[in-house]
Chain A
Amino acid sequence: MQNILIIGATSAIAEATARLYAADGANLYLMARNEDRLKIIAADLKIRGAASVATAGFEANDLDSHQNLIERAHKSLGSFDIVLIAHGTLGIQKVAESDIEETIRELQTNAMSTIALMTRLANMMEKQRQGTLAIISSVAGDRGRPSNYVYGTAKAAVTTFCEGLRARLCKSNVHLLTIKPGMVDSPMTAGMELPGILLAKPEQVAKAIVTAIKKKTDVLYTPWFWRFIMLGIIHMPTSVFKKLSL
């Protein structure tokens, strides 16, 4: 039976992932800002087969509160076999372009808070000498694109941080998975005009995450074809890239 902590557990991908682990009879500890929503999700996961489900309110940008919250989760679960960090916001790029506070807030939530959590969790898991730390980054972090470079910057920071931390944790037998979803049909992307053919379902992404954790994959592009889309984007000459409105 696996002991699993999920931070940002109300996100569509996190919830879909939690359902897969619940069906497997896992012990789940869920954190998220919206505690009403969290309660509904917890009851649902319990019925779906989770051995136990505990919840706690979580404020990403209250960095000082993190240590205490994580310790309580660790105590409740006994160990962290898997930790999934899934919280985040997808702000409006256009707003951030003229509103510095919005830009900083996006970076805070999507980069700083995640990095702070990873730092603390890494130290605990290093001591455990086992387990998986799975972080949801994004394909948006692979190259800054005019349509969402603020979000992309935050995710690039997370991805780079993961690279280094993975190499450190590897020596303590702790696996770190960087998850880079493409476009996912979720409340985060609701209302956006996205091409249907590229739009993945959260359930599809969740399945890929579970497999990647099991196989100890380092970096997961999900759905898989994003690896090739991003390969094309990364290698496009800047002289061409800057003229596009990707």
Chain B
Amino acid sequence: MNMQGWGRYPVIDAEVHTPGTKEDIQALFDTTAVGMTPRGLGRSYGDSALGDHILSTKRLNHFLEFDATTGLLHCEAGISLSEILTLFVPKGWFLPVTPGTQFVTVGGAIASDVHGKNHHVAGCFCDHVEHLDILLDPERIIRCSPYQHPDLFHATCGGMGLTGMIIAAAIRLKPIQSAFIDQTTFKARNLEESLNLFEIHAAAPYSVAWIDCITGGPSLGRSLLMTGDHATKGSLIPGKNARIGLPLDMPSILLNRYSILAFNTLYYHRIRKVSVQSHVHYEPFFYPLDSINDWNRMYGKNGFTQYQFVVPKDAGRKAMPVILKTIVDAGKGSFLAVMKAFGKQNNNLLSFPIEGYTLALDFKIEPELFPLLDRLDAMVHDHGGRVYLTKDSRMSPSTFRSGYKTWTRFQELRMNYSALGRFRSHQSTRLGLE
């Protein structure tokens, strides 16, 4: 059947398997022992969860154990972050790290080693994983952690499902007193002010900036920086799950320079003062787009890609203006781009975040886009940065290798655990990882 990532580009024909038991997996390995691609909810944007034989974690959706005194949750890999929140927010627990959507699985969050608005203080998702169980073949399900099979652990965390199929994990939830967030929004008139704001608010538990990628000149890089922390007041109600949908592909012509300029201008002027405080539920704070089902159809039937890069902190002040200017001059930017200052890098071989500045923005797929992204790749490379695999559908093997210098160790490990060839994806093949 036709399968695609969240960006709906590329689309490939794949066979989808949904094993639920060890016997299912055994049967699968007896017939299909090569080239399998683990997949959760398919929220990675590009082709990292695409392959000829997809191993869906849909049926691995059980909670296994929860320790109400420590918050340690042991669950199967197909459990979604949304399910965790719905069940555990009322009990006073929250995810230690969450990406911008709750519709990802635990397995996917580990394979992408996702980050969130608290990366600068809390690191990545896998920094809160006590241990995980990975299936290499039906006879070998290995429990690994920073202390058990650490090499496998650090390759699997952020390893895009290329080391095996993650089937379960234990994660440390964090206690909260309220489902609400005390949020403050600051207005920055240009890029320098935006970067300064991140420094000023380095101690804020959560911070992210929505940055205007259409307006250039003296206002280049103007943004709204949002900081927040879990409130102490307010009830522990989980999300409402009431959502509106986008039932049809929106004609891509509706997304053009003018509509986007209008949106960005309105969004920026939404806040009139220098800073505004508010008390908001965790859903609009962390997952603004989750309220629209299938929002990925907004970019038309050809799909879109999200370009996310990071440049090291030292290079940031020099790199960000030139990269942003290239994006603004091209005039292809999306509604909003997200900017964030990352904290320290962790030990995971292919984990994306390095200490510095990251920018993420959507582009609808059109032929003229690819040369622009290649130019951006070159600029990111020149400043010692890298591009996020979870969002990628088009980077070249050389861009990948220059961004992720530890890729050779990653390959060695896959070889040692006989994952090479057995687990692969459309992306891994494209990037020369097999």
- Report whether chain A binds chain B: yes
Interface residues, chain A, with chain B CB atoms under 8 Å away: 34, 36-37, 40-41, 43-44, 47-49, 187, 190
Q: List 23 A-B contacts (CB under 8 A).
A: A34-B21, A36-B21, A37-B20, A37-B21, A40-B64, A41-B62, A43-B62, A43-B63, A43-B64, A43-B65, A44-B62, A44-B63, A44-B64, A47-B63, A47-B65, A47-B66, A47-B87, A48-B63, A49-B87, A187-B18, A187-B24, A187-B59, A190-B18
CA distance A190 to B21 in the complex (A): 14
CB distance from A217 to the nearest CB of B (A): 25
Chain B residues with CB under 8 A of A187: 18, 20, 24, 59
The closest CB in chain A to the CB of B20 belongs to A187
CB distance from A200 to the nearest CB of B (A): 15
Chain B residues with CB under 8 A of A43: 62-65
- In terms of DSSP, what is the predominant structure of the interface of chain A? helix
- In terms of DSSP, what is the predominant structure of the interface of chain B? mixed
Chain A residues with CB under 8 A of B64: 40, 43-44, 47
Report which residue of B20, B64, B65 has the largest number of chain A beta carbons within 10 angstroms of its beta carbon. B20
CB distance from B138 to the nearest CB of A (A): 15
Chain A residues with CB under 8 A of B59: 187
Interface residues, chain B, with chain A CB atoms under 8 Å away: 18, 20-21, 24, 59, 62-66, 87
The closest CB in chain A to the CB of B64 belongs to A43
Contact A48 B65 (CB under 8 A): no
Contact A48 B20 (CB under 8 A): no
The closest CB in chain A to the CB of B21 belongs to A37
Report which residue of A36, A41, A44, A48 has the largest number of chain B beta carbons within 10 angstroms of its beta carbon. A44
CA distance A190 to B27 in the complex (A): 14
The closest CB in chain A to the CB of B24 belongs to A187
CA distance A184 to B21 in the complex (A): 19
Contact B18 A48 (CB under 8 A): no
CA distance A139 to B365 in the complex (A): 44
The closest CB in chain B to the CB of A41 belongs to B62
Chain B residues with CB under 8 A of A41: 62
The closest CB in chain A to the CB of B58 belongs to A185
CB distance from A111 to the nearest CB of B (A): 26
Chain B residues with CB under 8 A of A40: 62, 64
The closest CB in chain B to the CB of A191 belongs to B17
What are the 4 tightest A-B residue pairs by CB atom distance, in nearest-first order? Answer: A44-B62, A47-B63, A44-B63, A40-B62
Chain A residues with CB under 8 A of B87: 47-49
CB distance from A104 to the nearest CB of B (A): 25
CA distance A67 to B87 in the complex (A): 37
Chain B residues with CB under 8 A of A37: 20-21
Chain A residues with CB under 8 A of B65: 43, 47
CB distance from A16 to the nearest CB of B (A): 10
Report which residue of B24, B59, B62, B87 has the largest number of chain A beta carbons within 10 angstroms of its beta carbon. B62
The closest CB in chain A to the CB of B18 belongs to A190
CA distance A200 to B414 in the complex (A): 39
CB distance from A39 to the nearest CB of B (A): 10
Chain B residues with CB under 8 A of A190: 18
CB distance from A207 to the nearest CB of B (A): 13
The closest CB in chain B to the CB of A193 belongs to B1
The closest CB in chain A to the CB of B17 belongs to A190
Chain A residues with CB under 8 A of B20: 37, 187
CA distance A40 to B59 in the complex (A): 12
CB distance from A227 to the nearest CB of B (A): 24
CB distance from B73 to the nearest CB of A (A): 9
CB distance from A201 to the nearest CB of B (A): 10
CA distance A146 to B64 in the complex (A): 43
CA distance A36 to B23 in the complex (A): 12
Chain A residues with CB under 8 A of B63: 43-44, 47-48
Chain A residues with CB under 8 A of B62: 40-41, 43-44
CA distance A190 to B17 in the complex (A): 9
CB distance from A13 to the nearest CB of B (A): 14
CA distance A37 to B66 in the complex (A): 19
CB distance from A18 to the nearest CB of B (A): 12
CA distance A137 to B65 in the complex (A): 34
Chain A residues with CB under 8 A of B24: 187
CA distance A43 to B61 in the complex (A): 12
The closest CB in chain A to the CB of B65 belongs to A43
CA distance A56 to B95 in the complex (A): 35
CA distance A34 to B21 in the complex (A): 10
CB distance from B247 to the nearest CB of A (A): 14
Report which residue of A47, A48, A49, A190 has the largest number of chain B beta carbons within 10 angstroms of its beta carbon. A47
The closest CB in chain B to the CB of A196 belongs to B1
CB distance from B40 to the nearest CB of A (A): 17
CB distance from A138 to the nearest CB of B (A): 21
CB distance from B256 to the nearest CB of A (A): 33
